[in-house]
Amino acid sequence: MTGILLVALGGALGSLLRFGVITLTYKYMDIHFPWATIFANLAGCFAIGMIWAILDTFDEPKNLKLFLITGLLGGFTTFSSFALENLNLFRAGRVDLAAANILISNVAGILLVFAAYWLTRSTIRVFRAF
C-alpha cells in the first residue's frame, strides 16, 4: 500500500511540474512546434540518468525509486503526448516538423540519460575521494 501512495504522490508532483513547463514554454515560445513536450521529456531523461546514478551508487530504499522514477518522472514525462503531437504534425502535412521532433526527442533524450549518469557518477567519485 505504501508503494501505491508513493507512486501516486510522485505522479501528482510530476504532473504539476509538467504543467509548469508547458505553461512557461507556451508563454515564451512558438506553439506550432511541440517544444513543451521536448523540454519535459529531455529534462526527464537527464533527471532519470542522474537519479539512477545516485540510486545505483548507494543502497537506496525501494520506496525512493518508486517515488522518484515511477511516480515523479512518470508523471513529468510522457510518451503518449509525444506520439499524439507527431500524429497531429503528420496529419497537418508537417512531416519535416514531425521528423525533427522524433529525432530531437529520441537522440537527445538518450544522450542526456548517458551524460547525466556519467556526470553524476563522476561527481560522486570525486566527493567520495574526500
Show pLDDT as tens, one digit a residue, over the chain (130 residues): 899 999 999 999 999 999 999 999 989 887 788 888 888 989 999 998 898 889 888 877 789 989 998 899 989 987 877 888 899 999 999 999 999 999 999 999 999 999 999 999 999 999 998 8
What is the pLDDT at residue 82? 86
What is the pLDDT at residue 56? 82
Of 40, 49, 36, 34, the C-alpha closest to 112 is 49
Of 122, 112, 111, 123, the C-alpha closest to 43 is 112
* Grid coordinates of 104: 530531437
DSSP H helix total and E strand total for the chain:
7, 0
Tally of CB atoms within 10 A around 42:
18
